[in-house]
Amino acid sequence: MVPTKWVTERKSFGSKSIAFRPQLCHELSVTSRWKLTGPFRLFDLPPELRVQVLSLALQDCEEQVHVIKIFLACRRLYTEAADIFYHETWVDISHRSEPPGLLAEPITSLSPRLHVRTMNLAISPKTNLRAFKSVYVPVLREMADKGSLHTLRLEISGRFSRINFWTDDWADDEDFCDNEVPLLISPDKNIEYQGPAFLVAQPFQSFLDFLSDPRISKVVLYTASTDHYEFWCECHRKLSSKLIPCSNGSWRGKASRLKVNQKRLLWLFRGARTVPASAAVTSIQRLGGPSRSLG
């Protein structure tokens, strides 16, 4: 019997043998090697990749017209781009009597201020702080309630004026706050303190109420070191250098602005009131003095 002969047939892999397949030329450009068959589907990318793409497109773009095109493409792209572009915003209104467009225009679903996560706001007591409660506080609360505002950094530039500035009898002058009166401060209002009269005025007390507003998660207050009265001295002492202490309320450090210890500020001066004229003041405990005992 003749043994069966098994024949092994070699077939090509696919249409051509693997040995004859064309090799990819690495010298060709990316556009020559990979040709798009349709529009690039940006929203098919994961969110973290879209953030990187939009960040590069918005922050490294040299021509403003290209940025505008991104915002005008569609509502979804506008929302994602605005969250990046307006994430942290700096606004200086220290020399403005009216709020800028970002804070003045009527709010809509496309308002840029709804996308601000961190607001750096520089204000001046001479031009802004009197209208802070009626003009800016509602806008900032709206940005927190309806938008993304989480952190507010307030910087008070310039110097506080005298008591006339904080009342309806305001006069346009450059006087310092040299009108000091006996006050009762601290939560129990049992600490007598000789301090600026505007501490008990309603505009300043309303400003203190806003600093503890629960609608905004984090409020940080800075004040100019040139505007360093004795009550600021007590309210930032924990953050100042022991080698360069404050002397009689005058800052001798190199910092141009001081971060205020807000808990201490509110604890001492929120709800402060003047000492009744009929009360006999036997001793005045001055903050920053050698005999103070405030704990």
Query: Predicted confidence band at 290 (pLDDT cuts at 50, 70, 90)?
Result: very low
- Summarised one tens digit per residue, pLDDT across range 119-136 is 999 988 777 777 888 889
Query: Predicted confidence band at 117 (pLDDT cuts at 50, 70, 90)?
Result: very high
Task: State yes or no: pLDDT of 110 exceeds 50.
Answer: yes
pLDDT value of position 289: 40
Which of the two residues, 45 and 142, has the higher pLDDT score? 142
Please report, for the chain, the start and end positions of each structural domain, with discontinuous segments joined by +: 42-85, 87-101+111-178+195-267
Which of the two residues, 95 and 10, has the higher pLDDT score? 95
Query: Predicted confidence band at 210 (pLDDT cuts at 50, 70, 90)?
Result: very high
- Summarised one tens digit per residue, pLDDT across range 10-23 is 454 444 454 555 55
Q: What is the DSSP string of the chain?
A: -PPPPP------STTS-GGGSPPP-TTS-HHHHS--SS---GGGS-HHHHHHHHHHHHHS---HHHHHHHHHS-HHHHHHHHHHHTSEEEEE-TT-SS--HHHHSPP-TT-GGGG-SEEEEEE-TTTTGGGIIIIIHHHHHHHHHTS---EEEEEE-S----HHHHSTT-------S--EEEEEETTTT-EEEEEEGGGGSHHHHHHHHHHT-TTSSEEEEEEETTS--HHHHHTTGGGS-SSS--BTTB--SS-SEEE--HHHHHHHHTT-EEPPTTS-------TTSTT----
pLDDT value of position 269: 92
